[in-house]
Copies of this chain bind each other. A is one copy, B any other.
Amino acid sequence: MGELGEFGLIALVNQGRTQTRSVLLGPGDDAAVIAAPEGRFVVTTDMLVQDRHFRTDWSSPHDIGRKAIAQNAADVVAMGAVPSAFVVGLGCPAETPVEFVRALADGMWAEAGRAGASIAGGDMVRSPMLIISVTAFGDPRRAPIKLSRSRAGDVVAVAGRLGWSGAGLAVLSAGADADEFADLVAAHQVPQPPYEAVLELPDTAEITALTDVSDGLLADLGHIAESSGVAIDLDSAALADPELEAAGKALGVNPLDWILGGGEDHAFAATFADSGDLPEGWVRVGRVLAGSGVTVDGTHRTGLGGWESFA
């Protein structure tokens, strides 16, 4: 990669790409220019560090690129905003194969496209290991859906898979047969946030709080409970997922642990006013009560603190 140099690499990763309409000025100047038709934009950023957030022996560069974009797009969507663009800082060793960088960029563009957006610019630097820093933008076409508006009496619901990424990570970590649990491993390699469950919410949906599940369901619902000043009780029967049973048996893990504590699925968790049917894609898994904290079947669970960056 050293041979191509920074400007050659920038040309390489941008070759043949088509920006979406939100990108008014793309790579090549001191800064990019992004449309913000609502007069404001949402922004979120995540840093991924090799061997901490991904491993190149467990994930292809294409998968790593998709994951980096997906987890940021999920945060944008978790505000009720529509992804408009991404910028990417990439640090990598000089000896990184050019093909690796190209596949990483391809994965990023693929997931950006899934989210309806493109990659408007970035920075490439040399570093001792791979570092990926993604910043994502979105148009808040409705009032931002915050963590803090949940009320006692609301319904707790989730959209998307829970525990699959955690189960896939457990399979890889245990050196178990990755082929036998290929779907779970794939879910760990590339999360599939169900963007449409939020972006296609009908205007009539009385959603009161929303987050993406990145640190684990208990931890992320804990943020809603704390911000809103409420308690949340989950129904374990509603959360159970038969697809996790076989892996649980093989590894001696209660699948509910993955569902409640595993992060990185980037499903969405929300609370809705209790006014009948939930919107499409959402499953009822609990209720909001007066008080504080998150319980399961009325009981506090311990030992499932969720992801902690400096643990």
* Contacting residues, chain B, for A87 (C-beta < 8 A): 43-45, 135
A73 CA / B120 CA spacing, docked (Å): 18
**Interface hit among A75-83, A155-163, A200-208:** A75-83
Q: Mark A46-77, 1 if CB is under 8 A from B, else 0.
A: 11110011000000000000000000000110
Q: Tell me which of B4, B44, B131 contacts A31 (CB under 8 A).
A: B44
* Contacting residues, chain B, for A127 (C-beta < 8 A): 47, 49, 52, 131
Answer whether residue A122 sits at the interface, using C-beta atoms and an 8 A cutoff: yes
Answer whether residue A39 sits at the interface, using C-beta atoms and an 8 A cutoff: yes
Contact B45 A135, beta carbon cutoff 8 Å: yes
* Contacting residues, chain B, for A94 (C-beta < 8 A): 310
Contact A35 B40, beta carbon cutoff 8 Å: yes
Q: Tell me which of B81, B122, B126 contacts A52 (CB under 8 A).
A: B126
Q: A24-B40, A138-B31 are in contact. Are A89 and B47 (CB under 8 A)?
A: yes
Q: Mark A124-145, 1 if CB is under 8 A from B, else 0.
A: 1111110101011110100010
Q: Which residue of B lies closest to A42 (CB)?
A: B31
Q: Tell me which of B4, B36, B46, B210 contacts A40 (CB under 8 A).
A: B36
Which of A29, A75, A138 has the most CB atoms of chain B within a 10 A radius of its CB?
Answer: A29
Q: A6-B310, A78-B30, A133-B133 are in contact. Are A122 and B36 (CB under 8 A)?
A: no
Contact B34 A37, beta carbon cutoff 8 Å: no
Q: Tell me which of B45, B121, B126, B311 contacts A123 (CB under 8 A).
A: B45
- A residues 1-21 near B (Cβ < 8 Å) are 1-2, 4-6, 9
Q: A40-B24, A75-B30, A144-B25 are in contact. Are A121 and B45 (CB under 8 A)?
A: yes
Answer whether residue A146 sits at the interface, using C-beta atoms and an 8 A cutoff: yes
A89 CA / B210 CA spacing, docked (Å): 23
A91 CA / B46 CA spacing, docked (Å): 10
* Contacting residues, chain B, for A254 (C-beta < 8 A): none
- Taking Cβ atoms with an 8 Å cutoff, the residues of A that contact B are 1-2, 4-6, 9, 24-25, 28-49, 52-53, 75-76, 78-79, 81, 85, 87-91, 94, 120-129, 131, 133, 135-138, 140, 144, 146-148, 210-212, 227, 308-311
Q: List 11 A-B contacts (CB under 8 A).
A: A1-B310, A30-B75, A30-B78, A31-B42, A36-B39, A43-B85, A47-B125, A47-B127, A47-B133, A127-B131, A135-B135
